Structure 1
Amino acid sequence: MKHLRPVMFVGTASDVGKSVITAGFCRIFKQDGYTPAPFKAQNMSLNSYATPDGLEIGRAQAVQAEAAGVPCHTDMNPVLLKPTNDQTAQLVLHGKPAGNQSAWEYFMEDDKRALFEEVKQSFNRLSHQYNPVVMEGAGSISELNLRQKDITNMRIALHAGAAVYLIADIDRGGVFGSVYGTIALLPPEEKALIKGIIINKFRGDIRLFEDGRKLLESLTGVPVTGVLPYYHDIYIEEEDTLGLSLKHKRQTTGRVNIAVVLLRHMSNFTDFHALEKDERVHLFYTDNPAELATADIIILPGSKNTIEDLIAIRNNGTARAITEAHKRNKVVIGICGGYQMMGEQVADPFGVEGPMASIPGLGILPVTTVLTREKTTQQRTFRYRHQEKICEGYEIHMGETSTQKPSPLNELTNGASDGYFLSPQCWGTYLHGILDNDTVVSDLLAQCGKVSVVKDFDYRSFKEAQYNKLATHIREHLDISAVYKALEL
């Protein structure tokens, strides 16, 4: 098998489709017999994942590794920023917390030389093990004020000697200005790395853009590698929470209506992707007390700032709606930060989340939580409610939850236990991904009295099919042979 140079997908802006296209190419290279691996030097996201060795990376790189058919590793995302509020983020370096920093401290205090060295070492290790490394940029590659501090876009592309493809989202408009301006602002050595332009999310007849393709090539001197149509039937996990509040707001009859409480610092919303695809379920996100009151199931999700989000749901009436639903024997469950909120108290003696030392919880579960400096990040296998089938999930949290009345929800296969089981209609857990297991979901839906038919939904097989559909979609609309030619050393 030929050794290929790295390939990198960068954008004219955020949310243009870089993560999904990177995942698609990971699958394409795997299908073609190569051994690809993803790489994103720095990710900013509350959506993270635990690696097999108990460390933390951005969820997008875990998805891309899954598409590539390889175990995820911290070298695939050496720097992860997890915002704790509008001004501050937790820095996760090589999978471990390295302290909190303000945006000013992180971006303006130096040129990130030490951090860039760590990033380069991670890339170098990957490039010796995998072929090719499929790299993803972040945001726009033409942020002039941050150029000298960039560790995730063209600076690392130059180090890697990558073939770079610029992605633009035509659905948001302004594609000519964004593509031309982005390339025009690059210095010559960076512009020389750009091998093609990918127009993403095109609606309508692609033939209508043929003149546009020629104009872009004439303006920029860079070939248009292809135009990807907007699709509605391929489901790849998203990287961030943009648009969650608009998803599926209207409730439906004939299905179980599940409301996920929309938190400001909501993390790991991918916990609910399997539910979104279950034909028995109508899932929506809301912080409206009236909408919560009519739901069959309420889920309190994870949070990067449990105390601040707990204050917020009290102030907007959401907390009362949750406790009232519980009193009416509606199904109410909590995952990670949501589990902590459902307890009697959340204490923060070390100031992990801020100056507030303690706050009462919702009082639904007889547990108390103490936030800790150390973060737990582990993949887990477990038995749910003493059932025989082995389930899978993962932990990412800073806190220890205890009770005077032990009643574990899950038995971990290492002999430990997880969560608190109050009743079939009410429980909490630290395990992200618990709702990817059909055993858990079928039991949960049965508690509403609406679902009598148990249907196994193999989420892993579903995801595999989606990666293959995405690869086919990309092959049909991009010049893959030109990409391979650009990658030949």
Structure 2
Amino acid sequence: MKKLRPIMFVGTGSDVGKSVINAGFCRVFLQDGYAPAPFKAQNMSLNSFATADNLEIGRAQAVQADACGIDCRIEMNPILLKPTGNQTSQVVLNGKPAGNKSAREYFNETDRDALFREAMKSYDTLAALYNPIVIEGAGSISELNLWDKDIVNMRVALHTQAATYLVADIDKGGVFASVYGTIALLPPAERDAIKGIIINKFRGDVSLFDDGRKKLHELTGKPVVGIVPYFTDVFIEQEDSVAVESKGRTYLPGNVNIGVALLKHLSNFTDFDMLQRTPGVNLYYTDRPEELAKADIIVLPGSKNTLSDLRTLHEKGLAQAITTHHRAGKPLYGICGGYQMMGAEMRDPDGVEGDIASLPGLGILPVTTTLAGGKQTRRCSFVFTDGGAEGEGYEIHAGSTPTSRPLCRLNTGEDDGYYLNEATWGTYLHGIFNNASVINRVLRQVNTDVHAEADYRMLKEEGFDRLAQLIRDHVDVSYIYKTLEK
């Protein structure tokens, strides 16, 4: 195939849909016979994934790699920031933890040029293997106060000579001001790198924006190459925790209601995508004790700061709602940090998460967790110890929780989790609810007529193909190919 220039999708702000547009084009290029790969120099997200060689990257790039039909690798996201508090993040460099830094320390005290060079090494590795590279920016490209610290946006566009497209979310409102302002603020070289505009999340009759398309072209000198409609019927795993805001928040009668405790540092919310798409299930997130108490099933999710979230559970009364639910014999399950919280005690003698040395857990499972430096990051397959379920998942966690009654046996020969009874268990495995055998085992505790029907991998493939068709129907793909010619 002909060698193409890289393509880059940047945004007028955060959560405008860059990741999804990127994934759609990854699949378009794959369908057209190319060998694409995604790249994002720096990502900030609590939603991450394990590579085949046991390293950690942002979930969005793992999803985009799936859309490309390839396995994810660390070069696709060499720098990952995982917020641990309002102003502090864990820095994951080339897939491994490199310490915690405040925003001030990260932006003002790290060697930005060194980080950029490190990121570009990853890009060069990918560019030698794949064609084209589909690059994603981060947030807004016109944050003037951060330009000299940029290692992910237009500095990448210029360095890679990528054909760059600006994505704007019309559903947020103010699309003319955001697009015009974003482009007008750019220095000339960066402005020249922008080849077109994609309007995303358009509701209603697209033809009604014909005049708007012309006005944007007149204002910016850049063509509007696509107007992508707002959609909810295409399954694509979301990266940003902002997506949780659009998910259910309340109990709905007549369904199997699964309440997920809404933690401040909730991580890997994609653990619940398959449950949420199971007919007859209403999965909702809540931090209100009275709302959580209505659930038929409660799930405690993963957390990037488990001790802090455990303390908040007690302070908000959620812990009481959870233990009352358990004493009533109702199903309760924990994943990763949620599993740790279900134990008798959590200890952090080395201050891995902060200044909380220890806290009593919910006292539901007879286990104790001790946090330590480093991180277990790996993919694995599993079989429940009683043989009643099996599948695939992945681990991303700090610390250990010795168990005397494991939930499952991993393909490594190791044990995982704690099995108290059919209605109560915990596990370190993210993605465990992507497996129909596990979902059905859980749902039968409440209603034997409700069960998972879809295959997770098939659901993802169908989603990528439908997204690619949506792109072809609403974006001038031929124009874009012309801008990618060397």
Tell whether the structures are fold-level matches, with TM greater than 0.5. Answer: yes
Residue aligned with 2:8, SS: strand
Is the counterpart of residue 464 in structure 1 residue 461 in structure 2? yes
1:227 and 2:227 matched: yes
Quote the RMSD (CA, aligned, Å).
1.2
Describe the SS at the equivalent of 2:15.
coil
Match of 1:178 in 2: 178
**Aligned position for 1:422:** 420
Give the SS at the match of 1:468. Answer: helix
Indicate yes or no: 2:478 matched with 1:481.
Answer: yes
Shift of 1:56: 0.2
Task: Tell me by how many angstroms 1:61 deviates.
Answer: 0.5
Structure 1 stretch 450-459 or stretch 155-164: which is displaced more?
A: 450-459
Normalising by structure 1, what TM-score?
A: 0.98
Q: Which residue is 1:307 aligned to?
A: 307
Structure 2 residue 249 is the aligned partner of structure 1 residue 282: no
Q: What does residue 117 of structure 2 align with?
A: 117
Aligned match of 2:59: 59
2:150 matches 1:153: no
1:131-142 to 2 correspondences below 5 Å = 131-142=131-142
Distance 1:327 1:389 in 2: 25
- Paired with 1:181 and 1:248, the residues of 2 have a C-alpha distance of 34
> What secondary structure sits across from 1:402 in the alignment?
coil
Identity among equivalent positions (%) equals: 60
Equivalent position of 1:165 in the other structure: 165
Q: 1:438 aligns with which of 414, 436, 439?
A: 436
CA 1:208 to 1:454, structure 2 compared with 1: closer, same or farther past 3 Å?
A: closer
Does structure 1 residue 256 correspond to structure 2 residue 256? Answer: yes
Matches of 1:455 and 1:85, distance apart in 2: 36
**Residue aligned with 1:462, SS:** helix
Query: 1:35 — aligned with what?
Result: 35
Contact 2:439 2:452 in 1 (8 A): no
| Farther off after superposition, 315-324 or 234-243 | 234-243
Checking the alignment, whether the CA contact within 8 Å between 2:271 and 2:434 is kept in structure 1 is: yes
User: Residue 243 of structure 1: CA displacement?
Assistant: 5.1
Distance in 1 (CA, whole Å) between partners of 2:453 and 2:301 is 23
Give the 3 Å change call, closer, same or farther, for CA 113–131 of structure 1 in structure 2. Answer: same
1:51, 1:77 → 2: CA distance? 11
Report the alpha carbon displacement of residue 447 of structure 1 after superposing the two structures with TM. Answer: 1.3
8 Å CA contact 1:386, 1:411 repeated in 2 = no
Change (3 A) 1:261 1:467: same
1:11 equivalent to 2:11? Answer yes
Q: Which runs of 4+ in 1 moved over 4 A?
A: none
User: Residue 425 and residue 466 in structure 1: after superposition, are their counterparts in 2 closer, same or farther (change >3 A)?
Assistant: same
1:56-95 to 2 correspondence within 5 Å? 56-95=56-95
Task: Report how far residue 454 of structure 1 moved.
Answer: 4.5
Classify the secondary structure of the residue corresponding to 2:19. helix
**Structure 2: distance between partners of 1:453 and 1:271:** 19
Q: Is the 8 A contact 1:411 1:417 kept in 2?
A: yes
- Tell me how far 1:232 sits from its aligned partner: 2.2
- Report the secondary structure of 1:314's partner residue: helix
Mapped partners of 2:374, 2:252: distance in 1: 43
Pairing 1:323-342 to 2, within 5 Å after superposition = 323-342=323-342
Deviations 1:58-101 (A, max 9, x none): 00111100111110011000000000000110000000000000
Aligned with 2:155: secondary structure? helix
The structural deviation recorded for 1:109 is: 2.3
Shift of 1:55: 0.4
Separation (CA, whole Å) in 1 of partners of 2:399 and 2:359? 14
8 A Cα contact 1:111 1:149, kept in partner: no
Would the alpha carbon gap of residues 322 and 110 (structure 1) be closer, same or farther in structure 2, given more than 3 Å must change?
closer
- What number of residue pairs does the alignment pair up? 486
CA contact (8 A) 1:266 1:304 kept: yes
- 2:97 aligns with 97
* 1:204 alignment partner in structure 2: 204
Give, in whole Å, the separation in 1 of the partners of 2:37 and 2:452: 34
Output the amino acid matched with 1:105.
Answer: E
2-structure distance, mates of 1:330, 1:84: 31
For 1:207 and 1:36, how far apart are their aligned partners in 2?
A: 32
SS for the counterpart of 1:351 is coil
Contact in 2 for aligned 1:43/1:138 (Cα 8 Å) = yes
* Aligned-partner Cα distance in 1 for 2:176–2:290: 44
- Per-residue CA deviations over 1:430-465 (Å, capped at 9, x if unaligned) read 0000000001010011112x2245444311101110
Distance 1:455 1:261, change over 3 A: closer
Gaps of 5+ in 1: none
Q: Distance in 2 between matches of 1:447 and 1:236?
A: 29
Q: Matched residues in 1 for 2:199 and 2:414: separation?
A: 50
Deviations 1:353-407 (A, max 9, x none): 111211110000000000010100000111124327641000000110014xx11
| Gaps in structure 2 of 5+ consecutive residues | none
Q: Cα distance, 1:229 vs. partner?
A: 1.1
TM-score (norm. length: structure 2): 0.98
Q: CA deviation at 1:18?
A: 0.1
Counterparts of 1:119 and 1:245 in 2: how far apart (Å)? 31
Once the 2 structures are TM-superposed, how far is the Cα of residue 57 of structure 1 from its aligned partner?
0.3
- The residue type paired with residue 37 of structure 2 is A
Could you tell me how far 1:42 is from its partner in structure 2? Answer: 0.4
The aligned runs of 1:235-384 (5 Å cut-off) are: 235-242=235-242, 244-245=244-245, 247-384=247-384
